[in-house]
Amino acid sequence: MPYQKRAHAIVVGGGISGLCAARALSPHFDRVTLIERDQLPTGVEHRPGVPQSHHVHALLLRGLMELERLFPGIERELTEAGAARVDLGTEVAHCTEWGWAPRASGIGIAPLTMSRLLIESVIRARVRRELDNLMIIERMRVTGLSTERRGNKVQVDGVFLEHFAPRKLTADLVIDASGRNSKCLEWLQRVEVAPPEEELVDAYAGYASRFYQLAPDARRWWRGMVIDAKAPEVTRWGLLMPIEHGNHVLTVAGVNRDYPPSDEAELQSFLGGLVAPELGREITRAKPLSEIRTHRALSNRARHFERWQRDVAGFISLGDSAVAFNASHGQGMSMAAVSANLLGDLARSAPRLDPYVFTRRFHAAQWKRLRTAWLLATGNDLTWPKTTGKRPWGHGFKTALGVSVVRAAHEDAAVKRMIGPVYQLLEEPTTLLTRPDFMARVLFAELRRRGGRDLALPAFTDLARR
C-alpha cells in the first residue's frame, strides 16, 4: 500500500520537546503547526517560559545520539558554537562524602556541556531553516482541546486558541509538549475525559545558579567541579561546569527544603556548607556575569498515559508534560529527544494505524523508554528521609547496593568505566548485574572496607599530579 501522509499535526510548546517533536513529525504530515505562548528569540537569549535556562544543563550521551538522529550534524554545530566536551574521568574534580575521587583516564565518557540557551537556539534555528511545512504561531496560548465523540470514543481533532474571539485550529494529531506546567489535565477534564493517574516523588529540592568568568590560574587542571551531598547529613551539593565563550555556570542545590538563597552573602555561606570548601574558594575569586537565579520546581512527576483509557485518540503527551524529572539528574533534554524519535518512528512505521491504537502504542513505548531514567531519578531522591512519594518494594536493598556501586566507582576506574554508560542512559542498569567482573569488583571493594582497609584517597591539591 502506498505511503500516505496525514494532513495536519499541532505541537503545543516551542521548547526543546516541541521543536524535536515538530522535526520528527514533519516528514509524515503535510503541515505541522507549532504554537508557543512566548515570542521565540532569534538568537541565544533567555525567554520567560524557560526559567530553568539560567541553570546548569547537561546533554547526556544518549541525548546527543538522539538529537543527532533528528538533526544530523548537530554535534559539530554545537561544538562550533562553543559547547565544551568534558572528560568526566580526567577533567572534572569530583568530591563525594568519601573524599576526592582519583583522576582516571580511559573512562570514555565525555558529554557536551553548554548553556540551555545555546542548545535551544541551535535546535530552533535548524527547525526554522529545514522544515518548509512548519508554521510557528508565537505569543498564542492554547486554552483547550476540541473533540468529537462517537459513542464512548473520543477523538481529539484540534485545539482552541486564546484570541479576540474563540478560534479553533483543527488537526489529525495534537502533541502536548508544553512542559512541566502543561494544562493538559485541565483540558481533558473540560471535555469530560478522565485524566491519567499521576505519580509524584518530591525531594523538595531547589537550585541557585549564576554565570561566572573564572579567575586566571595556571595551576587549574580541571574544567569542571562537582561536590556531592551526603545523605542524610549534608543536604547540599554544588556544580561548576564550562559553557560557551570560556565561561562557567555555577549551580548549587539543596534537598529536603534546604533551599539555596539568592542573596550574595548567603550564597557564600551556602557554599561553605558543602562537604568540601574548594568550590566556595573558587567562586570568591570569580567574576559574576549574571544575577543569582533560583528555581524550585524540581519534583519528579509521571502522568501514566500508558495506563490511560483506551477510547481516546489524537492526543499525545510528550516530554515533561508526561514525565518530568528532578532536573538535578540531567535527564530531561535527553528524554525529550528520545520521545520525539519514538513519535517519528511510529508515524513512519505505521502511517495508516488506527488513531486509537496509535495513541496507546506511543504512550506505552514512551514509558518503556523513560522508565529507567525515572527509576534512577526517583531512586536517588527517595534516599532522603523527608522526600515524599511511594518507596517501592526492595528500596532499602537497592539503595544499599547503589551506595556500594558508587563508592566502588569512586575508587576503581574500571567500575567507573562500566557504570558510565548507565548514567548516560546508553545501557540499562540490569546489564551490570550480569557482568561477573563488575560484581566481583564491587564485592571486593565492599569486603575490603568492612575489613577496615579503605584506600587512601588523594587530597584536592594532589589531584593535579597524575
Rounded to the nearest integer, the mean pLDDT of the chain is 92
* E-only strand ranges, 110-268: 112-113, 134-138, 142-150, 153-161, 167-170, 173-176, 198-201, 206-213, 224-227, 236-242, 248-254
pLDDT digits (tens, 9 = 90+) for 182-209: 999 999 999 999 999 999 999 999 999 9
Q: Write down the pLDDT at residue 1.
A: 35
What are the structural domain ranges in the chain?
1-57+115-201+299-391, 206-295, 395-460
Was domain 206-295 assigned CATH 2.60.40? no
**Which DSSP helix (H) or strand (E) runs through 410?**
helix 395-411
Contacting residues for 257 by C-beta, under 8 A, at least 6 apart: 204, 206, 386
43-52, 342-351, 388-397: which range is least confident on average?
Answer: 43-52
pLDDT-derived band at 354, boundaries 50, 70, 90: confident
Question: How many helices (H) does the chain have, and how many strands (E)?
Answer: 13, 23
DSSP letter at 230 equals B
Q: Is the model's pLDDT at 2 over the cut of 60?
A: no
Q: What does the block give as the cell for 120? A: 535551544
pLDDT-derived band at 4, boundaries 50, 70, 90: low
CB-CB neighbours of 163 under 10 Å: 11
Q: For residues 237 and 228, is the Cβ–Cβ distance under 8 A?
A: yes
Average pLDDT score over residue span 27-38: 96
Q: Write down the pLDDT at residue 297.
A: 80
pLDDT digits (tens, 9 = 90+) for 205-241: 999 999 999 999 999 999 999 999 999 999 999 999 9
Q: What percent of the chain has pLDDT over 90?
A: 80
Q: For residues 23 and 190, is the Cβ–Cβ distance under 8 A?
A: no
Residue bearing the bigger pLDDT, 351 or 458: 458
Q: Is the model's pLDDT at 72 over the cut of 70?
A: yes
CA distance 138 to 18: 13
The angle formed by the CA atoms of residues 92, 94 and 99, to the nearest 5 degrees, is 150
Average pLDDT score over residue span 14-27: 97
CA distance 361 to 353: 10
CB-CB neighbours of 361 under 10 Å: 16
Q: Is the model's pLDDT at 455 over the cut of 80?
A: no
DSSP letter at 457 equals P
Strands 315-317 and 173-176: parallel
Q: Write down the pLDDT at residue 342.
A: 97
Q: Write down the pLDDT at residue 3.
A: 45
Q: Write down the pLDDT at residue 464.
A: 85
Q: What percent of the chain has pLDDT over 70?
A: 96
Contacting residues for 59 by C-beta, under 8 A, at least 6 apart: 67, 111, 112, 113, 114, 119, 333, 334
Global confidence as pTM: 0.94
pLDDT digits (tens, 9 = 90+) for 263-317: 989 999 999 999 999 999 999 999 999 999 998 888 999 999 999 877 899 999 9
pLDDT-derived band at 58, boundaries 50, 70, 90: confident
pLDDT digits (tens, 9 = 90+) for 310-351: 789 999 999 999 999 998 888 999 999 999 999 999 999 877
Was domain 1-57+115-201+299-391 assigned CATH 3.50.50.60? yes
pLDDT digits (tens, 9 = 90+) for 95-153: 999 999 999 988 889 999 999 899 999 999 999 999 999 999 999 999 999 999 988 89
